[in-house]
Amino acid sequence: MNSVIKASNKVADNCYSSEARLKKLGRGMFLPLLVAVAYVAAAKLGFTLAFTTKQVTAVWPPTGIALAALLLWGYRVWPGIWLGAFASNALSSEPVWTAAAIATGNTLAPVFGNFLLRRFGGFDNALERVRDVLLLALFGSAIAMTVSATNGVVELALARIVPWSAFFSVWWVWWAGDAMGVLFVTPLLLTWIGARQKESAEGGGLELAALAAMLLASSSISFLSNFPLRFSVYPFIIWTALRFRQREMTAAIAAVCGLAIWATSHGLGPWASGRLDSRLVQVDSWMSVLAITGLVLGAITAERRTARLDLQELLTQTKRSAVTLQTAFLPEHLPRRPDVRCDVLYIAAEREALIGGDWYDAFDLPDGRIAFSIGDVTGHGLDAAVSAARLRRSIFSAAFNTSDPAEILTKADHVLGSRHEAPATALIAILSRDLSTLSYASAGHPPPIVASPRTSAHLLTPGGLPFGIGIPIASQTYTVALEPNAAILFYTDGLTEFKRDIVRTERAVLQAVMRLLDDPHVDRPAVFIQRSVMGSQRPADDTVLLVVQLGAGRQKSWSYDSTNPLSAHTLRGEITHFIRSLAPNEDELFGTELIIGEALANTVEHAPGSVSVAIDWTDAYPVIVVSDAGPGLSRLEAALPVDELNENGRGLFLISSLARDVQIEAQPGMGTRMRIVLPTKRAGA
């Protein structure tokens, strides 16, 4: 049984193999037959333009078809070329042996051209390189076609169809027709059949339609009239090369040359006088210049497109690398304190697409102070980024050994020593624990900008010399007092040099910082300032903006529905957590938590509905305001009830007893507003 199954499987495999071989054989025969049919059809067209010798014409498209077929599908199509050439010549009243010999030469010529292009030229069918166009004109057209022309004229002379005395004149017509067939037909077939376009053309459909209409109009005037305007088509060929691909270029060349050949063969246009062969040779000369010019210009444009694609890909990779470097060299997190808000923005220059030497840092010191550093190393690229990282680390290390900003910069300068690859600016600033003062020192870096609700934005005192210029930085420490809710902006010169007008840009930056103070709800202060100054434009140089807002975390508000006791309980936990984040210790929180609980419980019991709660800890003691929509209180009952079993009024008594101050404002028809100054003092106040 197994032997029968094996035998049947073997028979099935043989049948499948036979079927596959038949399909492969069919595909192998189809292409040569297709080439043969196309060759014969094109030969008939060419023979209609033969004049002196019936077998020789100055327009011979079959050579272009033959070479294109070899370049597209390889040497397997050569039988089709030979068959088409033999049939074409046999039909032109030649002896069979002469037709066979000429067919052999007409096959060897494109085969030789294909060999030269593939072997020595590294030819690309897309014709999107100048070298490919020139190789096609030299190897495929000029050199290879000498084989067919020489062989053909020799065979015609041996058959006594052409006298030996006319050898060179006939050879010239034959070679011109074959060479022009390659320049005229091969690019058209290669670009429309086998080539893949790497990028879409710049020109659109409407532009292409307009170009086609004007090109046909110009060609008609040039070749269907007696006006000497045969060069008027060149502007449109140039237009095609600059705005479209090689496909459109070869189609334009085909349209112009086809019309020129038809007009010349009918005695029209610039080449209307003389014998037809002579006139067609002149047309060939003109068309060869047009074809090579158009194809070379198209190749130059294609090379530019390819270079642009490669550049875009390189820029994309470089930007990706820049992001990776920036992540490695810059801090991942900024200091987090409820009373300090930090925001930073790093913008890489669009024209460089490389991470530059701009850097920043912000970190907590052991004694509760906060240090900020920012700087700029001259140049871009990996070297500048590495230098910036080295300078940043040096400042970071020195900041833990000394409290004076000027000494920090001096130590960093000594650590780096002669390793300054390029000049660099830097600034180190230290914010006191209680947020009352800012000490800073600069090594040639733009000074910070400080503003507060009561003081307009202004530049601090600049100072110091840059690193790496061979002169000591001579930095000096400056200390400035900070008002509550102040804002500080550290930045690199890419911001102020945005429009090459430093004075005007600095004025815009100062105005942006003041607008930032007027709008406490800005999510990204650094982005707000950048957009206020630059709009949607990108800077010409790398830019860093580091914004520090004091007291930004000391105000908060909530709202809840007092008909839901669970929401009041949840809110009590959130408010307590907020106070704990700013309170110096746990011992002072008991009374504060009791006050908050009683205030919220009072709204649940006596003021059902929407309740808003706001807390402001800008001053030393927090102020909490509870606004409800209840019936409203006429006055504050700050005493215990006479009836010991009566619970009414006990909560208000506790609040008034424990709080530093309590104010109740009754709003008839709108509810009650209770303002309570809590007894817990803020840390550092």
Q: What is the pLDDT of residues 583-633, one digit of tens each?
A: 766 666 888 888 888 888 888 877 788 888 888 887 778 899 988 877 655
pLDDT at 487: 93
Integer-rounded Cα Rg, in Å, for the chain is: 44
Q: Please, which residues have CB within 8 angstroms of residue 504's CB and are 6 or more apart in sequence?
A: none
Higher local confidence (pLDDT), 317 or 675:
675
Amino acid 93 reads S
Residue ranges and CATH numbers for the domains of the chain are 27-196 (1.10.1760), 199-329 (no CATH), 330-550 (3.60.40.10), 555-677 (3.30.565.10)
pLDDT at 437: 93
pLDDT at 420: 58
pLDDT at 322: 59
Between the alpha carbon of residue 428 and those of residues 68, 313, 333, 405, 408, the distances in Å are 70, 38, 18, 6, 8
Q: Distance between CA atoms of 221 and 269, rounded to whole angstroms?
A: 9
CA-wise closest residue to 685 among 421, 339, 430: 339
- Mean pLDDT across the chain: 82
The yes-or-no verdict on residue 255 having pLDDT over 50 is yes
Is the pTM value of this prediction over 0.75? Answer: no
Q: Distance between CA atoms of 111 and 389, rounded to whole angstroms?
A: 62
Tokens of 429: 């600033």
CB count, 10 Å around CB of 413? 21
pLDDT at 323: 61
Q: Where are the alpha helices (DSSP H) in 364-434?
A: 382-399, 405-416
User: Which has the minimum average pLDDT: 36-45, 89-98, 285-294, 410-419?
Assistant: 410-419
Q: Please, which residues have CB within 8 angstroms of residue 652's CB and are 6 or more apart in sequence?
A: 598, 602, 636, 637, 638
pLDDT at 53: 67
**Beta pairing class for 478-481 and 437-443:** antiparallel
In the chain, what is the straight-line distance between the N-terminal and C-terminal CA atoms, in Å? 100
Band (pLDDT 50/70/90 cuts) for residue 488 is very high
Q: Distance between CA atoms of 367 and 399, rounded to whole angstroms?
A: 12
DSSP annotation of 365: -
Q: Please, which residues have CB within 8 angstroms of residue 597's CB and are 6 or more apart in sequence?
A: 572
Q: Please, which residues have CB within 8 angstroms of residue 358's CB and are 6 or more apart in sequence?
A: 346, 375, 376, 377, 388, 492, 494, 542, 543, 544
Rounded mean pLDDT of 173-179? 90
pLDDT at 28: 67
Do residues 72 and 194 lie in contact, with contact meaning Cβ atoms separated by under 8 Å?
yes
